[in-house]
Copies of this chain bind each other. A is one copy, B any other.
Amino acid sequence: MGRPKTYQRDAMVAEAMQLFWLHGFEATTTQMLVERLGINRFSLYAEFGSKQGLYEASLDRYDQDVVAHHFGPLERPGAGLCEIEGLLAFFASKGRAPGSHYGCLLCNVAVERAPHDLASHARVERYVSRISCALQSALQTALERGELAANVEVATLAAGLTATFLGLFVLLRAQTDPAILHDAAAAAIAQLRSLGATAAAEAQPPYP
């Protein structure tokens, strides 16, 4: 039934994702997409309808592949403090490393397009909810295991770590001084460990 396609949709989305990740939506041109993906414009529009369509497919792919790869371990039932600390240490070690200037695609999208594009906004909202829930789940497990003091507010702490991760992604993207990146993660790890020490159980009045 007709001439067969010379491309595979999945491979196209994977390549497009790299371009949007590195350059953002506006700075990624159809010319760049056509050259990188090795296909023609016609097929691109036949398959995705528009640059925006390919962009949205790229965001969904990023969530399924990259976010799942890094935050998936936190979503698994057995995950606790160890996995959170490991992830913080992992990102902290990447300061100015090759490829680190990609940052996090969905964090980049949150800044570049979420305020102006509904599709981007929805995916960023889902993303923030996902990593914050993943963190909360791991913290809850840690609390039940006694790795955290019983009076720790896991939802609040998860939100704090979510902001910390986003901050790390900005620092990675901007290729700033790796020392700050390292120290930022070290501070978060130190906070987690201090909340495990029984000493921390002396409750502070929570901020409203």
8 Å CB contact of A207 from B115, B190, B201: B190
8 Å CB contact of A114 from B85, B174, B208: B174
8 Å CB contact of A125 from B176, B186, B207: B176
Docked CA distance A157–B207 (Å): 19
* A:189-208 near B, CB below 8 Å: 189-191, 193-195, 197, 199-202, 204-208
Known: A194-B204, A207-B189. A128 touches B171 (CB 8 A): yes
* 1/0 contact string of A160-197 vs chain B (CB within 8 Å): 11111111111101111101111111111111011101
A27 within 8 A of B: yes
8 Å CB contact of A121 from B112, B114, B125, B174: B174
A155 within 8 A of B: yes
Q: Is the CB of A111 within 8 A of B103?
A: yes
Q: Is the CB of B176 within 8 A of A168?
A: no
Tell me, rounded to whole Å, the shortest Cβ–Cβ distance linking A90 to chain B.
13
Q: Which of A124, A129, A160 has the most CB of B within 10 A?
A: A160
* 1/0 contact string of A24-52 vs chain B (CB within 8 Å): 10110000000000000000000000000
Tell me, rounded to whole Å, the shortest Cβ–Cβ distance linking A175 to chain B.
6
* 1/0 contact string of A108-141 vs chain B (CB within 8 Å): 1011101110000100110011001000000000
A64 within 8 A of B: no
Complex interface: chain B residues within 8 A of A176 (CB): 110, 124-125, 128
Q: Is the CB of B170 within 8 A of A183?
A: no
8 Å CB contact of A184 from B129, B159, B181, B206: B159
The contact sample of 12 A-B pairs, CB cut-off 8 A, is A23-B116, A85-B207, A111-B112, A125-B174, A125-B177, A155-B183, A156-B187, A160-B188, A163-B168, A185-B207, A186-B207, A191-B191
**Top 10 A-B pairs, shortest CB-CB distance:** A160-B187, A163-B167, A159-B183, A163-B184, A166-B167, A110-B174, A167-B167, A114-B174, A26-B26, A111-B111
